[in-house]
């Protein structure tokens, strides 16, 4: 409510509204999708819908993203904290911090530096752009795999059709892309076979990008060096799962962007978009219903 009013808007009942700020993100997926569908079905005057997170696969899979409404999400809003977390996981993998944190006695030296390393990022959105800035002081050679050919400063761009070409040469592969039907389970045994045995996989996107069983096998058999995961499939990852037991797999419980970080950032986006909507300006974080993100 405060964010809407800060943007010059007025909070009204849905029947009077032209725009809907949807913040019911805590429900289970089916419930929140059905609830949003009911609101939009009952209130035809709503023209714009602001969604709470950067990822919109929940609404895309439910068939809600249409061309009757203008859809926006929080893409780009959480780029800085998530990129920071991706960098932290990468450094932790390179420095073997999971194994060292478990050690109870002095052991052998291990680890590699990030300086001058080759990094492949899947996704060219806000997280990737922030990562490029964070990686710049390390002098990394960065390749970004994305659908659009738009250049990004500090990176070589490869199209989705060449997504495997930058794996064999990478010291670190970071997943930071939206989840769509096309890229669900796209990272599997063939990709791990292509990666170098010392390379690490870092996932701050969605767990369903990766075939979990293949990741377990790759980490267990030394096909890759390590993994840093903020997301998993399934999520939450159940106790006793093999990934928990591996010294070369560091897991954080989807905390790259915590609620405490997210609320002020989302509030600023809502206030800005309310102002833009009232002024007839282009909105930030537009969602393409055809692409699903």
For the annotated catalytic residues, the residue numbers are: 206, 235, 254
Q: Which two tokens stand for residue 43?
A: 């209130």
Cis peptide before 236 (omega within 30 of 0): yes
What are residue 14's phi and psi, to 5 degrees? -55, -30
> What is the distance between the alpha carbons of residues 208 and 179, in angstroms, rounded to a whole number?
8
- Dihedral sign for Cα atoms in the order 293, 173, 252, 210: positive
> What is the distance between the alpha carbons of residues 174 and 170, in angstroms, rounded to a whole number?
10
> What is the distance between the alpha carbons of residues 88 and 62, in angstroms, rounded to a whole number?
34
> What is the distance between the alpha carbons of residues 1 and 163, in angstroms, rounded to a whole number?
43
What DSSP assignment string belongs to 155-212? Answer: EEEE-GGGTTTTTTT-SEEEE-----TTTTT-BSHHHHHHS-TT-EEEE-S-GGGB-H
- Dihedral sign for Cα atoms in the order 207, 212, 216, 221: negative
């Amino acid at each position: 409510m405060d964010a809407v009013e800060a943007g010059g808007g007025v909070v009204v009942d849905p029947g009077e509204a032209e725009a809907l700020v949807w913040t019911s993100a805590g429900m289970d997926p089916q419930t929140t999708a059905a609830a949003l569908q009911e609101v939009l079905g009952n209130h035809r005057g709503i023209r714009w819908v602001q969604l709470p997170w950067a990822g919109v696969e929940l609404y895309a899979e439910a068939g809600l993203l249409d061309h009757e409404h203008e859809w926006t999400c929080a893409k780009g809003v959480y780029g800085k904290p998530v990129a920071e977390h991706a960098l932290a996981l990468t450094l932790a993998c390179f420095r073997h911090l999971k194994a060292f944190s478990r050690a109870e006695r002095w052991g052998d030296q291990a680890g590699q530096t990030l300086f001058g390393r080759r990094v492949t990022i899947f996704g060219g959105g806000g997280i990737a752009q922030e990562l490029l800035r964070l990686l710049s002081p390390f002098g990394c050679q960065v390749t970004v795999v994305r659908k659009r050919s738009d250049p990004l400063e500090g990176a070589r761009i490869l199209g989705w059709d060449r997504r495997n070409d930058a794996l064999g040469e990478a010291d670190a592969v970071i997943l930071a892309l939206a989840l769509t039907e096309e890229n669900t389970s796209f990272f599997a045994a063939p990709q791990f076979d292509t990666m170098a045995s010392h390379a690490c996989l870092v996932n701050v996107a969605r767990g369903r990008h990766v075939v979990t069983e293949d990741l377990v096998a790759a980490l267990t058999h030394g096909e890759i060096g390590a993994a840093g995961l903020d997301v998993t499939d399934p999520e939450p990852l159940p106790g006793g799962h093999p990934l928990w037991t591996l010294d070369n797999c560091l897991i954080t419980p989807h905390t790259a962007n915590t609620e405490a970080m997210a609320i002020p950032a989302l509030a600023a986006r809502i206030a800005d978009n309310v102002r833009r909507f009232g002024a007839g300006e282009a909105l930030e974080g537009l969602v393409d219903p055809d692409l699903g993100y």
